[in-house]
A and B are shown apart, each in its own frame.
Chain A
Amino acid sequence: MNTGCHRVLIATFLCICSAVLYAAEPEPLGHLIEPGYTPEDAADEQGLWLEIKEYERSLNQSALLVRQAELRNYIEGIVCRVAADYCNDFRVYLVRNPGFNASMTATGMMQIWTGLIVRASSTDEIAAVFGHEIAHYTRLHSLQGFRRLKSQMASASVLDLGLTILTGVPVPLGQASALLNYLAFNRQQETEADLLGVQLVAAAAYDPHASYRVWNQLQQEENAAAVKREKAGVFSQTHPNSEARAEYLLQYVSQEFGPADVEQVADQALLNILNNHYLFLMEDQLDTNRFGRTREILVRHTKLGVKPGLVNYFFGETYRQRGEPGDRELAIAAYTKSTESDGSPPQTFKNLGYLHLKAGDVPLAQKYFREYLEAQPDASDRAMIEFYLEDQES
């Protein structure tokens, strides 16, 4: 089957599924397992748990795991509050990855990417994503998906064999259809997890309205992206798209919990986390070389109240990295603003020095290079800076 035909088929199929989903009145959802659940009877489920535990052992040793206690405590605290009685069922792994994602396995192993923290405007939004993941766990979605796929692939293989005998051409139509079904089934699970997640978040006294704000913001970031992704991101491959999701969550939350508060209160817990770990979180984002997305995140952080010295330093970094006509001036302005504000890192002086060197203003470049070395006497690039200082003086 060619890709275009395949896409049309998928799109048609999903439209039908979505229509069914939105037309139906959401039923109240409950948990399917008790806290402390472990598989006892089913061999396939036990096998699945063993496989995941093996993977978890290797993940535990990954150098990409975030080990800082403050960050871990913040994240684990939110998980536990949303999970309530299920708190002890989860092992939380915070992974250095600038993308937006969180995932949950059947065993309660939860992976959270640092890009989620960078993109959140409030702790409530992070809680909303966790509520969704916890709902996947208590509704046994991974196990259901695993079993459904296994049985469909088996019967699909028989169908494919029949087709091959009849036509003489090996066409994996049955398996393709099974995968398509699995995808649709996942999306239905996603909607279930969204709705139960909102209930968990509200029960934990987080703002349920945060559940749709997350998706609105992701959509804004996608719109601001200079380079669009060819393939949908990890999240959107198996999840309803951000716009559709924000829409049905808005409807559901407004109906269940009333309208949102007009006044948004500054989230000090998230602000502390961002302020204390901003450099590594945003450097990972900056390295992706995605100007539009990074800029959108920085605009959000400005509104949120992250230390202006930090945010403006990264505005300077994004303009300097893009390097289009006029960007040097924008970068200098942002760095200068950073040096006049709270939280400006020493690198700001260095980069101001380099930019003025480029612009031919040697005395000003020297001034900033000296300020950089004063602020960071043990800088690992001291030899390079001293080279420029000596070079300019000779």
Chain B
Amino acid sequence: MKFVKLIFVALGIILSGCTTTYSLVSPGAVAVDSLTVQIGSGWNRAPSTQTRSARSNAETWTKDGLLLDRLVIIPGVADGESLLVSRSESAALPVFRADMLPNEIEELVESSMLKFFGEGNSVVSSEGLRPYRFGDHVGFMFEVDAIVSDSPRYRGLVGAFIANNELYILYYLAAVPYYFDKHLVEAQRAIQSAVLNQ
């Protein structure tokens, strides 16, 4: 009997973390784990079934669909952890180290995006690394560009900071031409508003 109960508890946990439909993210202050961001208009929160390589506490939002645009919020990446998850042991995902400086986080994002789009199927580059203050934390921002085989070209804006030895990262990635510019102002406002919850 105990065993059956355990199965039901496990099923409940699994099912609660496995959403299958999009949900609305309403304008205002939105908490994502230990981060809060301000958004001026609504976004659509992608279900976990659509974002299989995302960390469990990360959220992916979109305006026009994941193929065209996405705003990704990844809170609290600890030392030794990667920005993505993969079931494959041969993926060679790059990992965050707490002593990383901005240039290394920039490379971590580049390499992670390359793994996300598919090693060999994409070329990811970045530029414009500059400082930016997220609340009490000095962080930085930069742009990315991703050329992907059999897919639109993507541009992106990344904001990140390290607090308590953990990495907090937010990025907006959208197809060019058109979609990147369409939601850039809104996405930039959301990224730049990110603060750690008190």
Contact = CB atoms under 8 A, between A and B. Distances in A.
Interface of A: 58, 62-64, 96-99, 113, 226-231, 284, 287-290, 320-321, 323, 350-351, 354, 357-358, 380-381, 383-384, 387
Contacts of A99: 119-120
Given A227-B90, A287-B110, A321-B94, A380 B99 contact: no
A384 B114 contact: no
Given A97-B120, A230-B89, 5 more contacts: A230-B90, A287-B114, A288-B119, A358-B99, A381-B127
B129 interface: yes
Given A63-B147, A350-B103, A357-B101, A290 B128 contact: no
B122 to A, nearest CB: 8
Quick one: which of A63, A289, A383 has the most chain B CB within 10 A?
A289
Interface string B132-170: 000000001010000101100100000000000000000
B110 A230 contact: no
A171 B97 CA distance: 49
A284 B93 contact: no
8 contacts: A64-B149, A97-B120, A98-B119, A284-B123, A287-B114, A287-B123, A321-B94, A321-B107
Contacts of A354: 101, 103-104
A221 to B, nearest CB: 14
Contact of A229 (B90, B128, B150): B90
Contacts of A96: 123, 147
Contacts of B127: 380-381
A67 B197 CA distance: 48
B100 to A, nearest CB: 8
The winner among B92, B102, B104 for most chain A CB atoms within 10 A is: B92
Most buried by A among B110, B120, B128, B130: B120
Dominant SS among interface residues on chain B: mixed
Contacts, number: 75
B16 interface: no
Interface of B: 88-90, 92-94, 97, 99, 101-104, 107, 110-111, 114-115, 119-124, 127-131, 140, 142, 147, 149-150, 153
Contacts of B89: 227, 230
Nearest to B125: A283
A132 B129 CA distance: 45
Most chain-B CB neighbours within 10 Å: which of A58, A287, A351, A380? A287
A384 B131 contact: yes
A289 B131 contact: no
Contacts of B110: 287
A384 B102 contact: yes
Contacts of A357: 101
Contact of B129 (A63, A284, A351, A384): A384
Contacts of B90: 227-231
A29 B149 CA distance: 37
Contacts of A62: 149
Contact of B130 (A289, A320, A383): A383
A150 to B, nearest CB: 25
Interface centre among B93, B99, B104, by most chain A C-beta atoms within 10 angstroms, is B104
B94 A381 contact: no
Given A350-B103, A384-B130, A384-B140, A289 B120 contact: no
Contacts of B88: 230
Contacts of A230: 88-90
A358 to B, nearest CB: 6
Contact of B114 (A58, A113, A288): A288
